[in-house]
Amino acid sequence: MQQDAADLETQVLSWIRGNRPANFHETVLRLHMFQFRHSAPYRAFCRQSGVGERAESWRQIPCLPQDAFKHADLRSFPVEQTMKTFRTSGTTGEGFGQHHFRTLEIYEAAAREGWRRADMPAGPFLVIAPHPGEAPHSSLSHMLGALAPRKDFIAHGGVIDIERLRSIKEPVCLLGTALGFLNLFEVMDKQGLSLTLPAGSSAMETGGYKGSGRNISRTDLYAMFGERLGIGPDDIYNEYGMTELSSQFYARGPQGLHRGPFWARAVVTDPVTLEEVAEGETGILLIYDAANVGSVVGIRTQDLAVKRGDAFALLGRDPAALPRGCSRAADEWMSR
């Protein structure tokens, strides 16, 4: 099984890096077969869903609910080969999800290639989030660490280095969570500080506000970037991702649509039938991520979205869902 896993990882990694042509349909069906054979919880879920080892199309592959990562050991390789485990945050009684990896090479390649192929800013970066060394179980921190070197992290111990921001002389891209940026803006307000970053500067924010007691629209948040930092709304990006995935989706501007890399697909579906909704309709978001080699390829998220062609307009978490996620863990770290 180890060799099978290594071969599949090599194939997917080469595909993501653009060194090997591949077909999404065939690759995802191969991943489903591999995971069906080697992950007992996934195999049981598939059988319960009426799907066997060989699916006829990638849309036939059942998407495992996010919450399953809290209750099942979802890995397609022996436990002793686990290199890394990322965790969602969790409150008392809620528990936390775990995403296990045999290798981080695919995860890091997906972060870098996904960023590049989405035509995101090339940097340099300043990161307002914990470094992976301070948050070893955070997938968000690890993703940011794959994009930016340690010296670009400016919130050590949860304290933002305002002087680093004030000393910027060239265009920069700020990376952080939405609540992390709100924290920055509050610090700036207390100090009576406003900055105009060099022309060409940009920002990428991620995460929502569930569990924080706040509810700020993306439009209002982006207006704050302009007021405090001089970054216009069209130079601000939103990242959609989660601990249970290995890939990210990006949108530009307050009304931007989210799109993912060629190795991932987002499908907006009816919450009962899981059939894809019509253009402009709202449903639950399903994600098929071929970079999830060692876990499960299909995830049923807890997020609502509107179908817009091959993209989606993110509405946010289902109101009935518990607050969770890698961004929430980073926000709790920032507010200590």
pLDDT in tens, 214-232: 678 889 999 999 999 999 9
**157 — pLDDT class (breaks 50, 70, 90):** confident
Amino acid (one-letter) located at 54: R
Nearest 5 degrees, angle CA 287-CA 292-CA 294? 145
Question: Is 94 among the domain residues?
Answer: no
Q: Is the model's pLDDT at 212 over the cut of 60?
A: no
From 240-254, 268-282, 313-327, the region with the lowest mean pLDDT: 313-327
The pLDDT value given to residue 170: 96
Q: What is the mean pLDDT of residues 253-259?
A: 95
Domain that holds residue 234: 107-259+322-334
**pLDDT value of residue 322:** 47
Residue 334 pLDDT greater than 60, yes or no: no
Residue 223 inside a domain? The answer is: yes
pLDDT at 22 over 80: no
Mode of pairing for the β-strands spanning 236-240 and 249-252: antiparallel
Examine the domain organization and report whether 184 and 327 are in the same domain: yes
Position 276 scores a pLDDT of: 97
Q: Do 244 and 131 have their domain in common?
A: yes
**131, 213: one domain:** yes
- The answer to whether 72 touches 100, Cβ cutoff 8 Å, is no
Shared domain for 14 and 131, answered yes or no, is no
Mean pLDDT of the chain: 90
Q: Are residues 223 and 266 in the same domain?
A: no
Same domain, 196 and 274: no
- Percentage with pLDDT > 70 across the chain: 90
What percent of the chain has a predicted confidence (pLDDT) above 90? 80
Number of residues that make up the chain: 336
Show the tokens assigned to 100: 């296990």
Residue 59, pLDDT > 80, answer yes
CATH number of the domain to which 56 belongs: 2.30.38.10
Residue ranges of alpha helices (H) inside 54-155 are 68-71, 105-117, 139-147
pLDDT at 45: 97
Is residue 97, in this structure, part of any structural domain at all?
Answer: no
| Residue 111 and residue 68 in one domain | no
**Tens digits of per-residue pLDDT, 168-188?**
999 999 999 998 999 899 999
Contact (CB, 8 A) for 284 and 65: no
Contact 77, 1 (CB under 8 A): yes
Give domain status of residue 101, yes or no: no
187 with 329, same domain: the answer is: yes
The total domain count for the chain is 2
On whether residue 88 sits in a domain, the answer given is no
Identify the pLDDT of residue 20.
74
Could you tell me if 266 and 252 lie in one domain? no
Spatial distance between the Cα atoms of 61 and 268, rounded to a whole number of angstroms: 15
The per-residue pLDDT for 225 is 96
Are 274 and 187 members of one domain? no
Cα–Cα distance measured from residue 91 to residue 224, given in angstroms and rounded to the nearest whole number: 30
Pair 326, 183 in one domain: yes
Task: Give 7's contacts (C-beta < 8 A, 6+ positions apart).
Answer: none
Whether 266 shows a pLDDT value over 80: the answer reads: yes
**Residue 96 lies inside a defined structural domain of this protein:** no
Over residues 95-114, the pLDDT tens digits come to 789 999 999 999 999 999 99
Query: What is the pLDDT, as a whole number, of residue 208?
Result: 65
Distance CA 316, CA 267 (A): 15
Residue at 99 is within a domain: no
| Alpha-helical runs (H) found in 191-288 | 218-229
| Contact status, residue 220 vs residue 273, Cβ threshold 8 Å | no
Q: What is the CATH number of the domain that holds 252?
A: 3.40.50
- pLDDT (0 to 100) of residue 158: 84
Task: Note whether residue 82 is domain-resident.
Answer: no
The b/e string for 178-211 (b: 16+ C-beta within 10 A; e otherwise) is bbbbbbbbeebeeeeeeeebeeebbbbbbbbbbb
Q: Are residues 118 and 33 part of one domain?
A: no
